[in-house]
């Protein structure tokens, strides 16, 4: 159901998403209406989690989670608005495709905790018993997904949605941080120590980064990240990682330095996490970070893994 007020246009929502990515926590603290509250959507409509009754309810749910400064529309194929990995997989799996919208400037652990709660409510109130849950996160969305799983598993009685979770797919997610976030962090540190005020102003500008962007420096998904480093993957769930490359080969200097433009292959596949047991990984040459979220070749891989 849509309110009688005129809703913001797409460009306004896109503006909110970009501003929220950089200043999301500040907007949240000021209760600024530009800040998104976390919600789940079905075909552009916000779900009333407490009463999500509609004909499309199926026992399998496929949930898309967007990344920093993005909206759920990042997953839409450019020529086919409204069609994405979830809608295509839903046809194959007889599932309901959903997408998450959230304030990507807030810390990943805050969004992870909120996502955990939202999924618990969704599974509790879904019109038919949920049998299978598939989460697909792009970029920061993969880290929010991991954070939700980790926080759900650490509770004294694990969240009921966790036992329904079958697969998690991390598409271009910086599990070990993004080179760009690290570069901004180091530049701000160096410039902030300069003796001249006008040089320190550049550091101030770089420091206008939301907690969400700070978390991307090392891929932090939990408040105790310094003690924990990368938490383990939740057991009993299939975990898949997808990486993109700017060049045609992993060994190409451009791919080594920049990965898919924002996330290097090693970070997207968690190569330093020796205790992680990923079910499978896939690397896509010549597909950049954004195109990973809506590329037919990536869909073909998802279909192979999930269907």
Partner 1 sequence: MNKPQTQDNRQWWLGFFDFAFEGTAVVATRLEQVHLSIADETFDVLARVPITNTVSEPVRELHHGISRLSYRTVASAARLLNRVGQHAR
Q: What is the largest CA-CA distance in the chain?
A: 64
From the list 213, 267, 215, the residue with the least C-alpha distance to 241 is 267
Asked whether position 248 contacts partner 1 by CB under 8 A, the answer is no
Alpha helices in the chain, H assignment, sequence order: 10-29, 85-93, 108-125, 140-154, 179-192, 197-206, 211-218, 225-228, 253-258, 265-268, 296-306
Q: What is the per-residue binding string for partner 1 in 165-204, x denoting contact by CB under 8 A?
A: -------------------------------xxx--x--x
From the list 1, 219, 197, the residue with the least C-alpha distance to 109 is 219
Asked whether position 19 contacts partner 1 by CB under 8 A, the answer is yes
Asked whether position 29 contacts partner 1 by CB under 8 A, the answer is no
Out of 14, 18, 32, 207, point to the residue binding partner 1 (CB under 8 A): 32
Total interface residues for partner 1 by CB under 8 A: 35
Q: Binders of partner 1 among 44-63, rule CB under 8 A? A: 45-48, 51-54
CB of 169 closer than 8 Å to CB of 250:
no
Taking the complex as a whole, how short is the minimal distance between the CB of residue 54 and partner 1, in angstroms?
7
Please state the φ and ψ torsions of residue 106, each to the nearest 5 degrees.
Answer: -75, 165
CA distance 77 to 68: 19
Closer of 21 and 142 to partner 1 (Cβ): 21
Taking the complex as a whole, how short is the minimal distance between the CB of residue 35 and partner 1, in angstroms?
8
Out of 14, 39, 229, 276, point to the residue binding partner 1 (CB under 8 A): 39
CA dihedral over 115, 107, 167, 236, signed as positive or negative: negative
Closer of 32 and 229 to partner 1 (Cβ): 32
Q: Which residues bind partner 1 (CB under 8 A)?
A: 1-3, 5-9, 12, 15-16, 19, 23, 27, 30, 32-35, 37, 39, 42, 45-48, 51-54, 196-198, 201, 204
């Amino acid at each position: 159901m849509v309110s009688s007020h005129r809703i913001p246009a797409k460009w306004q929502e896109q503006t909110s998403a970009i501003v929220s990515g950089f200043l999301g926590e500040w907007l949240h603290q000021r209760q600024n209406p530009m800040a998104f509250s976390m919600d789940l959507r079905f075909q552009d409509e916000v779900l009333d989690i407490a009463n999500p009754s509609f004909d499309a309810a199926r026992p399998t749910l496929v949930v898309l989670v967007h990344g920093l400064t993005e909206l759920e529309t990042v997953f839409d194929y450019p020529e086919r608005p409204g069609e994405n990995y979830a809608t295509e997989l839903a046809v194959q799996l007889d599932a309901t495709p959903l997408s998450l919208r959230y304030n990507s400037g807030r810390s990943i652990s805050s969004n992870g905790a909120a996502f955990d709660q939202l999924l618990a409510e969704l599974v509790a109130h879904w019109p038919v018993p949920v049998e299978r849950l598939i989460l697909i996160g792009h970029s920061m969305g993969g880290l929010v997904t991991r954070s939700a799983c980790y926080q759900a598993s650490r509770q004294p009685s694990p969240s009921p949605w966790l036992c329904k979770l079958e697969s998690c797919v991390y598409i271009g997610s910086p599990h070990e941080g993004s080179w760009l976030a690290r570069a901004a962090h180091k530049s701000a540190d160096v410039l902030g120590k300069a003796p001249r005020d006008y040089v320190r102003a550049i550091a101030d500008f770089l420091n206008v980064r939301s907690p969400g962007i700070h978390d991307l420096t090392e891929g932090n998904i939990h408040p105790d990240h310094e003690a924990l480093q990368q938490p383990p993957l939740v057991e009993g769930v299939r975990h898949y990682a997808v990486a993109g490359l700017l060049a045609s080969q992993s060994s190409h200097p451009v791919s080594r330095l920049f990965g898919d433009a924002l996330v290097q292959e090693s970070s997207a596949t968690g190569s330093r996490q020796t205790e992680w047991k990923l079910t499978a990984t896939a690397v896509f040459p010549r597909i950049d970070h954004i195109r990973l979220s809506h590329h037919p070749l990536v869909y073909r891989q998802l279909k192979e893994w999930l269907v």
